[in-house]
Amino acid sequence: MYNGKLHTLIQTSRLCVLALVFTFQFCSNAFAQMSDTLREVKIRGRHKQQISNDVRINEYSPGQKIKAIDSITKLQYQYQSLASLLSEQSPVFIRSYGFNSLATLNFRGSSAAQSQVLWNGVPIQNAALGIADVSLLPVLLMDKVNLVYGSSSALWGSGNVGGALLLENDVPVFESKKSLSVFAGTGSFGESMGGLKTLFSNKKWYISLNAFGQSALNNYSYTTDSGTTKKTTNAKLNGASIILQSAYKVNDQNTLGFSAWYQQYYREIAPALFEASSLKNYTTGSLRFLLNWDKKTAKNNWYAKTSLIRDDLDYKDPLIYFGTNSLNVQYVTYQYFQELGWNRKINEHNEFLLFSPVQISWMEVSGVTKQQTKAALAAAFTFSYFNHKLTTALNARSEQINNTGVFLPGANASYELFYWLILRANAQYTYRAPNLDELYFNPGGNPNLKPEKGWNEDAGYSVKMKEWAHFSLEHDLSVFNREIQDWILWFGGSVFTPHNIATVQSRGVETENKLSCNINKWKLHLGINTSYTIATTVDSYIPNDGSIGKQIPYTPRYNGQLNVGFTYLNLYLNYNHTYTGYRFYTTDESLYLLPYNIGNLQLMYNMHAGKYALQLNVQCNNIWNTQYQLAAGRPMPGINWLAGLKLGIISHDNPLIK
């Protein structure tokens, strides 16, 4: 009875979202017959904001929730990783395995492998694991950071179940310009960092270089369950990242580009509360190359990109022996990616996109090469009416994964009910094939795994009021539902193995709110983000499974952030408060981690003198000295601080610090 009602409810919600999308289109034909008075709204000068370098975001996702991280927020976290930024400034939950450890994305109750990370349109998840460690992605290296909530498999490929993190470097601008900035920082627990950003361009060439290096002892104190104070050991971090970007303008229509991204990190893993000691450590390295060609005319844009990525991992645990040798896991994975695309602007109201991506991933397992190949043909069509008040996008992808074919349709739409109120809806079919580790990892891989598949629906609205006295208000609300069959979960005894656990449903609501007030030289701001997510097992292949109706491990039901502060002349001050609710770490909810509140204080000050710009950044993190755990048995540091200083040289009235 319960399953029948639930199935009816899911089908009803799915039909409601699809009906909303296509009702937008149907209503356009009726309203189009109305008088020309509708065109009077042109006085407001409606202009679509280009938040991304990717046309799929700007033109073909009108009904999806997309959050662009603003420049001020990126500056606040420029000396930290994307894991810190996203956990404190967005409803996306960052699933961390402890301090100085792996951190992955959790969009609306999804698993780590169900979220994508793309760099300039190229997926950069580890080819074997199918995930990206966002704790190793420095904020400083990226010029644009966008979050795509919910599935959009037709546009971004199979595997895009929960959402996507899009990282982009600036599109080359061919003008005479030179700039340079250097920075250095220091913080608690032996942390130090440094780097530079430099750029050179003229009418034909564009070259930029971003580099970042850091090290830390991470020898912070914590309190055990018995009340004893200890200091972490075996927790060092050393790492560096560098991105080189170059481009050549062949003529007014054609541009060639080349990018290279290298990074390497060494991390030690401190003992958990249930371990007497630890000597575990691992080294990760990535080398990413990207070649691209763009041709732009008045109505057509052709592009081609090809990328090769190598990821390597070397994990050691000298305290565990297999025979006479200590544990040492080493493997290298490769990923080749290419994409050809054509975007056609048919007229003022219609655009068409056709593209064909190919992705090949491979690794060696016990001397045998294991490979996964994905080849697809995808198309998207967007059309608008009523002076662009209504925008609808239809998209579809036919993808071949090894010997299996899958069709991925989707539709999304937005409607500007008033100039300050926009409605949106999105419905997508989603699919994720098991990754190489899930199939072939030795020991533990399961070659009999089924792919994950299901539907994703979400709808919501956005309010933007910027003409109310000295105030401006932004409010966004989203409701979502996702049902995935054959969800993959790792569990077991001495050897963990992935299994399909039948059906998992995720549903919930998210809000993002921001209130600003401008009074003379003061700008006050208040922002509140909230997230309520229920992600539970609906059906299971396991008899008498205790996970039925229970929350998926490490997915909090409640999650929220608050930001309050001001800007006065060149001074910026912000207080960030983050709340994370209960997280169960067993499938039957028998064990859990307590909720916690974290407070962070952030200050920036900019100074300009002639052609130089100086920026001071000071932060005090966990100012309430909260004792908490992100993962079971992994205590986090108490109050700590971070300070950085950046010097930029201004060239042609264009400061690098912006």
**pLDDT at position 441, please?**
85
Please give the order of strands across the beta sheet that includes 122-123.
66-68, 144-149, 163-168, 115-119, 122-123
Helix (H, G, I), strand (E, B) or coil at 167: strand
pLDDT band of residue 15 (cuts 50, 70, 90) is very low
**pLDDT at position 316, please?**
94
**pLDDT at position 9, please?**
40
For the chain, how far is it from start to end, CA to CA, in angstroms? 59
Q: How far apart are CA 565 and CA 563, in angstroms?
A: 7
pTM for the whole structure: 0.90
Three-state secondary structure of 510-565: EEEEEEEEEECCEEEEEEEEEEEEEEEEEECCCCCCCCECCECCCCCCEEEEEEEE
**pLDDT at position 468, please?**
73
Name which of 387, 289, 412, 391 is nearest 20 in CA terms: 412
Residue with tokens 């986090």: 636
Note the pLDDT tens digit of each residue in 241-277: 999 999 999 999 999 999 999 999 999 999 999 998 9
Name which of 107, 97, 103 is nearest 151 in CA terms: 107
**pLDDT at position 19, please?**
42
**Chain length of the chain:** 658
Q: How far apart are CA 556 and CA 530, in angstroms?
A: 12
Kindly state the helix (H) or strand (E) to which residue 74 belongs, with its residue range: helix 71-76
| pLDDT at residue 8 tops 90 | no
Report the share of the chain in percent with pLDDT over 90. Answer: 78
DSSP per residue, 137-161: SBGGG-SEEEEEES--HHHH-TT-S
For residue 513 the two structure tokens come to 């709110």
Q: Quote the mean pLDDT of the chain.
A: 89
Rounded to 5°, the CA angle 186-187-188 comes to 150
Kindly state the helix (H) or strand (E) to which residue 19 belongs, with its residue range: helix 2-31
Note the pLDDT tens digit of each residue in 432-479: 999 999 999 878 889 999 999 999 999 999 999 987 778 999 999 999
Q: Which residue has the higher pLDDT, 610 or 534?
A: 534
Q: How far apart are CA 108 and CA 532, in angstroms?
A: 9
Residue with tokens 């844009």: 301
Ordered alpha helix ranges (H), 402-458: 436-440
The separation between CA 205 and the C-alpha centre of its own chain, rounded to angstroms, equals 31
User: What's the whole-number mean pLDDT along residues 399-416?
Assistant: 96
Q: How far apart are CA 422 and CA 67, in angstroms?
A: 15
| pLDDT at residue 10 tops 70 | no
Based on the structure, what is the number of domains in the chain?
A: 1
**pLDDT at position 51, please?**
87
Name which of 182, 183, 199 is nearest 243 in CA terms: 199
DSSP per residue, 281-322: EEEEEEEEEEEEEEEE-SSEEEEEEEEEEEEEEEEEEEEEEE
Note the pLDDT tens digit of each residue in 164-192: 999 999 999 999 999 999 999 999 999 99
Residue with tokens 């005090």: 620
Note the pLDDT tens digit of each residue in 109-153: 999 999 999 999 999 999 998 999 999 999 999 999 999 999 999
Q: Is residue 320 part of a domain?
A: no
Q: Is residue 490 part of a domain?
A: yes
| pLDDT at residue 24 tops 70 | no
231-235: long-range contacts at Cβ-Cβ below 8 A with a sequence spacing of 24 or more? 232/99, 232/270, 233/270, 233/271, 233/277, 233/278, 234/268, 234/269, 234/270, 234/271, 234/277, 234/278, 234/279, 234/280, 234/281, 235/99, 235/100, 235/268, 235/269, 235/270
| pLDDT at residue 17 tops 60 | no
**pLDDT at position 361, please?**
96
Instruction: Return the CATH number at 163.
Output: 2.40.170.20
For the chain, what is the radius of gyration of the CA atoms?
Answer: 25
Name which of 102, 104, 113, 105 is nearest 160 in CA terms: 113
Helix (H, G, I), strand (E, B) or coil at 30: helix
Q: Is residue 472 part of a domain?
A: yes
**pLDDT at position 35, please?**
34
Q: Is residue 342 part of a domain?
A: no
Q: How far apart are CA 316 and CA 66, in angstroms?
A: 40
Note the pLDDT tens digit of each residue in 46-83: 445 688 999 999 999 999 999 999 999 999 999 999 99
pLDDT band of residue 21 (cuts 50, 70, 90) is very low
Note the pLDDT tens digit of each residue in 484-543: 999 998 887 667 899 998 899 999 999 999 999 999 899 999 999 999 999 999 998 888
Q: Range of 523's domain?
A: 2-32+55-205+348-649
Note the pLDDT tens digit of each residue in 315-354: 999 998 877 888 898 889 999 999 999 999 999 899 999 9
Note the pLDDT tens digit of each residue in 80-106: 999 999 999 999 999 888 888 899 999
Q: How far apart are CA 638 and CA 234, in angstroms?
A: 18
Note the pLDDT tens digit of each residue in 623-658: 999 999 999 999 999 999 999 999 998 665 444 333
Q: Is residue 217 part of a domain?
A: no
Report the share of the chain in percent with pLDDT over 70. Answer: 91
